[in-house]
Structure 1
Amino acid sequence: MSEQKHALVTGGSRGIGSEIVKVLLSEGYEVWSLSRTKMDDRENLHHIGCDMADRSSTEAALESVIKQAGSMDVLVNNAGITRDGLIMRMKDEAWDEVLAVNLTSVFLTCRRISRLMASQRKGSIINISSVVGIMGNGGQTNYAASKAGIIGFSKSLARELASRSVRVNVVAPGFIDTAMTDALSGVLKEQIATQIPLGRIGKAVEVAEAVAFLASEKASYITGQVLAVDGGMAM
């Protein structure tokens, strides 16, 4: 019988994170999810309440995960928020909160889980960035800075952990259909789709499948890379 695989997903209760959890469960992982929103009970799924903007909350949740799991094969840093606005009117709180959730939490989780993976001499870390971190976007300087930061952080971490057979990669989603985009009008969605070479908005499961690929042995020789799941937006 094969050994049970363990995965940790931040922000796993909604949107892309929820699909990542579903796909990893379907692939046989036992999954721990960190989020503020409670998740429905599912076999092999463990939810730990955590405010990813709060350092002490995040660190306590990570210790709880490690105590329960004992080992970790996959870490997916998906937690993210937006607080959009033009920089001339952006408040300090909008900058600080986005950087705390989107970037500092990645540092905290990677710092702790990489120690475990390095001692195991195996593991795969997938950090969720965005095409905004590659292309930029007006009104999202805070978000773009956090997502671009993830890319540089991940490439550096990949170099640090390669000798321990731990891989680090980035998935950069484009415009993906989630509850957040449901509020947009059909006309606006059609306008956005015209800017995408494949001519349509992406599905959350398409991002999740890319994550599952990078987590798997099929990607055993891939590290330090950015995989854009964006229909060609960032070409």
Structure 2
Amino acid sequence: MKLKDKVVLITGGGSGLGREMGLTFAREGAKVGVNDIRPESAGNVVTEIERLGGTARPFVADVSSSAAVAKMFAEFIAAFGTIDILINNAGIARASEVDNPDLFMTHQKTDEDWHKMLATHLDSTFYCTREALKVMIPKQSGRIINMGSIAGTTGLAFASDYCAAKGAIISFTKSVAREVVPMGILVNCIAPGFIDTPMTAPIPSEVRKQIEQTTPIGRFGEPRDIAAAALFLACDDSKFMVGQVLSPNGGYVI
């Protein structure tokens, strides 16, 4: 087992990529904290992990709130005693539920939509990283894996807020990686392409076909493709990886 007795916290762990990473890490021996804003989603993944024979606990919190994150970390450390791995995975595809494509254009985005997108992705990554480092720095070890996106490496039309958040997360990763590597903490980023998850499910079929045609491998990725990358960055196989961006994307960005 590559993560035997390691303690991991996965934000947005109640579905999609977060769920898959939780299951993968549990199979490799990690104790998993499953964060989600939805109690039922977090609880369901914890149940799945326990059925595998693993150890997991739910932590319900809105990680875009600094106070909520501080409270969650206090509860997490009380439950597990430490944190070895943090995966900043929480995110949303859009800030509001709208069917009008015109509203995705930058000049139509509201202040509220802009701030919600950045808070959910970028603020949460900062808040959780800050709390994790308070534990990791004294023990001089730890791994932090931030979830970027090809949206942050190449840009996607009609998603300027999402792209801005993901691009910022990539830069944040590189800065913090330089800062804490002398303390035995490795910080890296994953920038997925289009993956089959609940987040991409609403993509219209004609748009999906266009994406598949644009992707050299000819299909969307699977959650396990990203979980495998996360496992690599979390275990000793990646001990020379510092501030890097792994991008499993089927060739969409080369």
TM-score (norm 2): 0.88
Measure, in 1, the Cα distance between the counterparts of 2:176 and 2:130. Answer: 10
For 1:76, the equivalent position in structure 2 comes to 87
1:231 is paired with a residue whose SS is coil
CA–CA separation in structure 2 for the residues paired with 1:83 and 1:3: 36
Could you tell me how far 1:7 is from its partner in structure 2? 0.4
Could you tell me which runs of 5 or more consecutive residues in structure 2 were left unpaired when the two chains were aligned.
96-103
The worse-fitting range, judged by mean Cα deviation, of 27-36 and 180-189 is: 180-189
1:224, 1:121 → 2: CA distance?
17
2:207 and 2:108 map into 1 onto residues whose CA distance is: 25
Q: Which moved more, 1:169-178 or 1:40-49?
A: 40-49
Inter-partner Cα distance in structure 2 for 1:155 and 1:7: 21
Which residue, 158, 162, 167 being the options, matches 1:143? 162
Q: How does 1:167-182 map to 2 (within 5 A)?
A: 167-182=186-201
Mapped to 2, the partners of 1:25 and 1:125 lie a distance apart of 17
> Which string of whole-angstrom CA distances, capped at 9 and with x for unpartnered residues, describes residues 147-194 of structure 1?
000011010000111111100000000000012333334443222111
2:38 aligned residue: 37
**Cα offset for 1:37?**
1.8
Given the alignment, which residue of 58, 61, 65 partners 2:76?
65
Q: Which structure is higher in strand share?
A: 1
Q: 2:136 aligned with 1:112, yes or no? A: no
* Correspondences of 1:1-235 after superposition (within 5 Å): 4-38=5-39, 39-40=43-44, 41=47, 42-43=49-50, 44-83=55-94, 85-235=104-254
Structure 1 residue 3 displacement after superposition: 6.6
SS of residue matched to 2:62:
coil
Measured in 2, the distance between the counterparts of 1:217 and 1:180 equals 31
Structure 1 window deviating more from structure 2 (82-91 vs 169-178): it is 82-91
**Size of the alignment, in residue pairs?**
234
Output the CA distance in 2 between the equivalents of 1:129 and 1:48: 22
SS of the aligned residue for 2:153 comes to helix
Deviates more, 1:19-28 or 1:59-68: 59-68
Residue identity opposite 1:11 in structure 2: G
Paired with 1:97 and 1:115, the residues of 2 have a C-alpha distance of: 26
User: Match of 1:72, as an amino acid?
Assistant: I
* Deviation by residue 1:61-93 (Cα, 9 ceiling, x = unmatched): 111112212111111000011326211110011
Moved runs in structure 1, 4+ residues, more than 4 A?
Answer: none
CA contact (8 A) 2:63 2:128 kept: no
Task: Provide the aligned C-alpha RMSD in A.
Answer: 1.5
Residue type at the aligned position of 1:30 = K
Counterparts of 1:55 and 1:166, CA distance in 2: 22
Distance in 1 (alpha carbons) for counterparts of 2:214 and 2:113? 28
| SS across alignment from 1:201 | coil
> CA, structure 1 residues 71+51, in 2 after alignment: closer, same or farther (shift >3 Å)?
same
Structure 1 segments unaligned to the other structure (5+ residues): none
- Mapped to 2, the partners of 1:183 and 1:134 lie a distance apart of 23
Determine if contact 2:178/2:243 at 8 Å carries over to the other structure. Answer: yes
